[in-house]
Amino acid sequence: MNIHFIKRLKNRFEKIEKQNKRSKEEINELRIKYEDMTERYNELRLEITNRFYELLTDDKYEEEIKKRFFRGNGFTPDLENPKTLNEKIQWLKINNNIPEKATLTDKLAVREWVRNKIGSEYLTKVYGDWGNFDEIDMEALPKKFVLKPNHASGMIIIVDDKSKLNIDLAREKVNKWLTTNYAYHGLEMQYKFIFPRIMAEEHLGISGQDFYDCKFWCFNGRVEFIKSLIMINGKAFEACCYDREWRKTPFQAEGQKVKPDFEKPERLEDMIRLAEELSEGFKLVRVDMYQKGKDEIKFGEMTFTPDNGERRWVPQEYDRILGDLLILE
Amino acid sequence: MFFVERLRNRFKKIEAENKKIKAEIKELNEKHEALLGINDELALDMMYKYHELLPEEKYKEEIKKRMLQRVGIIMDFEAPKTLNEKIQWLKFNDNIPEKARLTDKLAVREWVREKLGDEYLKKIYGPWDNFDEIDMESLPEPFILKPNHGSAMTMIVKNKNEMDKDDARQKVNKWLTTNYAYNSIEMQYKYIKPKVFAEDYYGDKGKDFFEYKIFCFNGKVSFVSTAERENNVATSATIYYPDWEVAPFKTKQYPINPGEKPAVLPELISTAEILCRDFKFVRVDLYVMKDNSIKFGEMTFTPTNGEQIWDPPEYDRKLGDILKI
């Protein structure tokens, strides 16, 4: 039988295989394109809300906060007589937005306060702060650092290697942050009057390996529970809530992957003590700290409206049980 | 023989599958393009609505935000230094009512007629208040439709009978209900009464006729920019000094590709200098047609909305230093 014929078939076969390979690459590219597009779409949705809030007059905030809450929690909050934790956080947003919270929400201003209160050894290194991207003194920065603004939450560029940083993309991102008033992200007005700066902070290494995020929920000056987290790209990847003795709590935050076996921080008692010192005088504050290496403690931030009071708890009744622990009057 | 038959069938199957995959990829690609378009439209819509609702006393603050986002600088309205800053500053100063009048593509014709004469004007048809008023009978073929009150809105109609009227109506009426001032806070557009008019279609810009964007500072031509185009999309933009020496700066988005000096360069310069006389800063756009006649394009008081990234970037300041406000 004819060898030429088989050869021809073989060639055709190879050609098709090559095409299939190309098709697969194309499909991959499409997938990436689609992800970019989805991200852009989500950003746009968020931006539309932000701009809407910005144009809203102050007297409409309460109504809008109620609407947001209904969408997130499934019931209208009773702000006259708040009972659940999330309701109480909304109440605090409206009735207890004291100027001190604004100062301590500013990631730069809070450092001075922390220094006076517990000492500078708990502060991360900050290499500098600037008014726009092009002012950043890149030469003076170490190889690894993180960029974040002082006036917002969830915005971070982790620079593992300065020489590989895409300057144009970073400039666009940073300058966009600097023109965003985070108060209008979710009507958390303690952010409103912070003067935006971009800061370069020390790179703590890999989350969940070199350091852990520990968030101390302080109710009336007492740590009620602790959420330990592994962050990837500024977003929670895995989390778990513990009590003061590092026993897993019977409730967890919805929408986060639970990893039950975070190691108990070596200096948990110290961390609890420091968190309680910092939370003194505030009805509710989440004190975020990092446990770095085996025994270093670093201050992260003071969060007065954790998760904007829109985090659902599982089982659901814990929203009320936790709420009962928080005394407002 | 049976073996070969089987092989052949298998190949046919694989081939059919391969075709299917390719068709699917094509479809997905088109879908993605469409979604991308939707995202862009959404973003534009958002900005229009936001700017429209923004109280006027917040304009400067909003412009400062845009400048940081787009140019990367913190705009100083008290002491503007760079060209972009000065263009922003001039939005609030320097003969504002006259700038508003001359931004209207119809009203400006009267003024050009007085300054230069009728021969500098392209023939127009219309204007009309809405699509259905357009007198199609009176129009040449091909023709081009555009509104008098905005930028970057045109429709080329090659054949009247083949034109999709519903689509065109929708597009034109959308133009007419758009206040271009709110695209990016260029208030000279705000009070123009929207109309649509038609012009003869002269072919492709950059091939059948040429456009020169002449930047005039304090009544003198400072530099001229002209673009090369392929399929009506700019592929390069070169900046020249009035003596046609290539300038040491360019725009960030396009490469340069120096071309021939226009035969009517002295006339272009003198024409622009007649038109720019009353303004501290304006970009006068002129066309050189096939027969080397010069036609007026438009007076642009806020080119690129004062958000041009110059390359090298220090030219924003150097150009700003030349412009006296």
Q: Is residue B150 part of a domain?
A: yes
Pull the structure tokens for residue A7: 């050869």
Instruction: Characterize B15-52 residue by residue with b for buried, 16 or more Cβ atoms within 10 angstroms of its Cβ, and e for exposed.
Output: eeebeebeeebeebeeeeeebeeebeebbeebbbebbe
Pull the structure tokens for residue A206: 């890999």
| Cα–Cα distance for residue pair A276/A282, rounded to 1 Å | 10
Check if B35 contacts A (Cβ < 8 Å).
yes
Chosen from A14, A43, A51, A174 to mutate, greatest number of chain B CBs within 10 A: A51
Residue A231 has pLDDT above 90, yes or no: no
If you search the block for the tokens 């190691």, which residue do you land on? A263
Query: Which of B18, B25, B39 is nearest residue A44 as measured by Cβ atoms?
Result: B39
Paired with A95 in beta bridges are none
Model pLDDT, residue A130 = 97
| Cα–Cα distance for residue pair B65/A176, rounded to 1 Å | 8
Contact by Cβ (8 Å): B233, B159: no
Pull the structure tokens for residue B70: 């787009």
Q: How far is CA A19 from CA A7, A12, A37, A85, A95, in A?
A: 18, 11, 26, 58, 65
| Cα–Cα distance for residue pair A41/B153, rounded to 1 Å | 25
First to last CA, chain A: 96
The H helix count followed by the E strand count for chain B is 9, 11
Model pLDDT, residue B1 = 65
Pull the structure tokens for residue A178: 């600097």
Chosen from B6, B14, B40 to mutate, greatest number of chain A CBs within 10 A: B14
Q: Is residue B39 part of a domain?
A: yes
* CA-based torsion, A97, A100, A103, A107: positive or negative: negative
The verdict on a CB contact (< 8 Å) between A16 and B29 is no
ipTM above 0.85, yes or no: no
| Cα–Cα distance for residue pair A155/A175, rounded to 1 Å | 12
* % of chain B exceeding 70 in pLDDT: 100
Q: Is residue B207 part of a domain?
A: no
User: How close A20 gets to chain B, by Cα (Å)?
Assistant: 7
Q: Is residue B276 part of a domain?
A: no
Range name among A36-50, A114-128, B13-27, B197-211 with the lowest pLDDT average: B13-27
Q: Name residue A124's amino acid.
A: T
Nearest Cα residue in chain A from B58: A55
Check if B274 contacts A (Cβ < 8 Å).
no
| Cα–Cα distance for residue pair A161/A180, rounded to 1 Å | 27
Residue A271 has pLDDT above 80, yes or no: yes
Contact by Cβ (8 Å): B147, B171: no
Residue B78 has pLDDT above 70, yes or no: yes
Q: What average pLDDT does range B283-287 have in this prediction?
A: 97
Q: Over chain A, what is the mean pLDDT?
A: 93
Cβ-proximal residues to A233 (8 Å cutoff; 6+ apart), any chain: A156, A158
Contact by Cβ (8 Å): B316, B84: yes
Q: Is residue B239 part of a domain?
A: no
Pull the structure tokens for residue B101: 């009048």
Cβ-proximal residues to A268 (8 Å cutoff; 6+ apart), any chain: A246
Q: In total, how many domains does chain B have?
A: 2
Nearest Cα residue in chain A from B42: A44
| Structure letter (DSSP) for residue A219 | E
Cβ-proximal residues to A168 (8 Å cutoff; 6+ apart), any chain: none
Model pLDDT, residue A1 = 58
Contact by Cβ (8 Å): A207, A231: yes
For the entire predicted model, the pTM comes to: 0.84
Check if B42 contacts A (Cβ < 8 Å).
yes
Q: Supply φ then ψ for residue A297, to 5 degrees.
A: -115, 130
User: How close A176 gets to chain B, by Cα (Å)?
Assistant: 5
| Structure letter (DSSP) for residue A207 | B
Pull the structure tokens for residue A265: 């921080």
Cβ-proximal residues to A37 (8 Å cutoff; 6+ apart), any chain: B32, B35, B36, B39
Model pLDDT, residue A29 = 87
Give the domain-ending residue among B201, B235, B267: B201
Pull the structure tokens for residue B169: 């109506």
Pull the structure tokens for residue B225: 């920019």
Q: What average pLDDT does range B50-63 have in this prediction?
A: 94
pLDDT tens digits along A111-167:
999 999 999 999 999 999 999 999 999 999 999 999 999 999 989 999 999 999 999
The verdict on a CB contact (< 8 Å) between A132 and B69 is no
Model pLDDT, residue A217 = 98
pLDDT tens digits along B82-91:
999 999 999 9
User: How close A11 gets to chain B, by Cα (Å)?
Assistant: 11
Secondary structure (3-state) at A182: coil
The verdict on a CB contact (< 8 Å) between B42 and A44 is yes
pLDDT tens digits along A169-221:
999 999 999 999 999 999 999 999 999 999 999 999 998 889 999 999 999 99
Q: Supply φ then ψ for residue A234, to 5 degrees.
A: 80, 5
Range name among B16-25, B158-167, B290-299 with the lowest pLDDT average: B16-25
Residue B157 has pLDDT above 80, yes or no: yes
If you search the block for the tokens 């095409």, which residue do you land on? A19
Pull the structure tokens for residue A191: 């952010």
pLDDT tens digits along B212-238:
999 999 999 999 999 998 887 899 999
Model pLDDT, residue A222 = 97
Contact by Cβ (8 Å): B103, B91: no
Q: Is residue B19 part of a domain?
A: yes
Q: Select, from the ranges A13-17, A173-177, B23-27, the one with the highest average predicted confidence (pLDDT).
A: A173-177
Domain containing B41 equals 1-53
Nearest Cα residue in chain A from B31: A34
Model pLDDT, residue B207 = 87
pLDDT tens digits along B125-139:
989 999 999 999 899
Distance from chain centroid for Cα A240: 15
Indicate the burial class of A314 (C-beta count within 10 angstroms; 0-12, 13-18, 19 or more). Answer: middle
| Structure letter (DSSP) for residue A124 | P
Q: Is residue B196 part of a domain?
A: yes
Q: Over chain B, what is the mean pLDDT?
A: 92
Secondary structure (3-state) at B223: strand
Indicate the burial class of A16 (C-beta count within 10 angstroms; 0-12, 13-18, 19 or more). Answer: middle
